[in-house]
Structure 1
Amino acid sequence: MHWKHALIARVDARVHAAPVALPADAKLGPDLEYLRVGVSGVYDGAATALVRAATERGTGYWTMTPLRLDDGRLLWINRGFVPAGTTRAAAGASAPAGKVSIVGLLRSPEPKGSILQSNAPADDRWYSRDTAALAGARGLGAVTPAFVDVQVEQAAAVPALRPVPGLTQIKFPDSHLSYALTWFAMAALSLVALAYIWRRA
């Protein structure tokens, strides 16, 4: 319970903080999850990948596009949600040309796939945001071991189709009290049942 409450407090503080520079790759890790960062660079729209997503807007895809940062690093950006039926070509064409500035939340890679389905790079079917596998499938070479969920995307010219940003799931279940009450109730009922059996015996 204390660990979960500390996690919720830490994430809540991060998502509302002023954006900071992207840390060096050597410092990236799960302890920086949901850190609010500001980055800028140029998109490689042709390398866009669509990753299956289920959101408050329904089922569809996360639009993952690599961004070449000003410092030369390559960083995958989750530009946001597009509905089912969107093609990879259309999603790629939605990436603004030229310099782009982004504010978003730093996220850890999601290796291999979802709980139910594994990524299939050969068929370009993606069920998790596995940045290394995405880069390998697109022939991009080394990439930053993290990705960014866009909150704000600024560019000189924005195409008509725009993925919907800001849908990062940042709510965590905090059901410790209900768990405790459930188990204590089951224990009490067990004692009642034992007392009943003892009296009948």
Structure 2
Amino acid sequence: MAMVAFAALGVWQVQRMHWKHALIARVEARVHAAPVALPAGARLAGTGAGELEYLRVRASGVYQARATALVRAATELGTGYWTMTPLRLEDGRTLWINRGFVPEGTAVSAAAASAPEGCVTVVGLLRRSEPAGSLLQSNRPQDDRWYSRDVAALAAARGVGAVVPAFVDAQAEQAGPARSTGARPVPGLTQVRFPDSHLTYALTWLAMALLSAVGLAFVWRRA
């Protein structure tokens, strides 16, 4: 019985490996594709919204700089914050934009002042909202401490009303001058990595199935 269970687990891991490789290929194609218009709200809120993850999109509108929030981040540039600013789109929707990374010690007011004035066009990767917080810490809206990019909670805390149930990791901004000449967020730091240990797991389970078979044969011969 154990041999059959181990073999089944091994086959399942092989199937998962093929699924993961197909997912990685799809995401790689999206990340480097020409940007498309932001999908309709129904698609973003539907059960298939996960299929739009990392879609490269283009969105135009005006930043609501006063509503900027900083979310804790650890990147290749060090620890600091993601600069989250809502963009009022030309079609009336509001979309949170992760404008990029700012270092530890950056004030919310300074990050807000770096947002360009007037019409802005953002090209970036569509991401799913991150409800509640990180694995280690929950968001604390009452203290303005954010550990995940929970767009609904950010909107409620900043009083910006209904928002698109996703956000965009900016890769580039086309805009006029910023409100401030201070340091601007560094965009384009999205990590597109997926753990891919399924082959190792598959070999482990299949080896255990083989050992079980050998053990069963030994017991049978002794009997």
Question: Normalization by structure 1: what TM-score?
Answer: 0.90
Shift of 1:58: 1.3
The Cα shift of 1:5 comes to: 1.1
State the partner residue of 2:24. 8
1:23 to 2:39 alignment: yes
Tell me which structure has the larger Cα radius of gyration: 2
Structure 1 counterpart of 2:89, from 69, 73, 85: 69
* CA distance in structure 2 between the partners assigned to 1:182 and 1:155 by the alignment: 53
Q: Distance in 2 between matches of 1:194 and 1:117?
A: 48
Q: Distance in 1 between matches of 2:157 and 2:191?
A: 26
Q: Name 1:181's counterpart in structure 2.
A: 203
Counterpart in 2 of 1:100? 120
Q: Is the 8 A contact 2:62 2:117 kept in 1?
A: yes
Provide Cα deviations, 1:44-89, integer angstroms capped at 9, x if missing partner. 1111000011111111110000001111111000001111111111
Deviation at 1:176, TM superposition (A): 1.7
Equivalences for 1:43-62 in 2 at 5 Å? 43-62=63-82
Relative contact order higher in (CA < 8 Å, ≥ 6 apart):
2
Candidates 163, 167, 170, aligned match of 1:150: 170
Q: Structure 2 vs 1, CA of residues 190 and 82 (structure 1 numbering), >3 Å: closer, same or farther?
A: farther
Which residue is 1:165 aligned to?
187
Partner SS state of residue 20, structure 2: helix
Gaps of 5+ in 2: 1-16, 219-223
Aligned to 2:5: none
Give the match's secondary structure for 1:163. coil
| Whole-angstrom distance in 1 between the partners of 2:211 and 2:107 | 56
Tell me the matched-pair count.
201
In 2, Cα distance between equivalents of 1:195 and 1:120: 59
Separation in 1, partners of 2:86, 2:209:
53
Q: Please state how far the C-alpha of 1:193 moved relative to its aligned partner.
A: 9.2
Task: Give the structure with the larger helix fraction.
Answer: 2
TM-score norm. by structure 2 comes to 0.82
Residue number in structure 2 paired with 1:199: none
C-alpha displacement of 1:180: 2.7
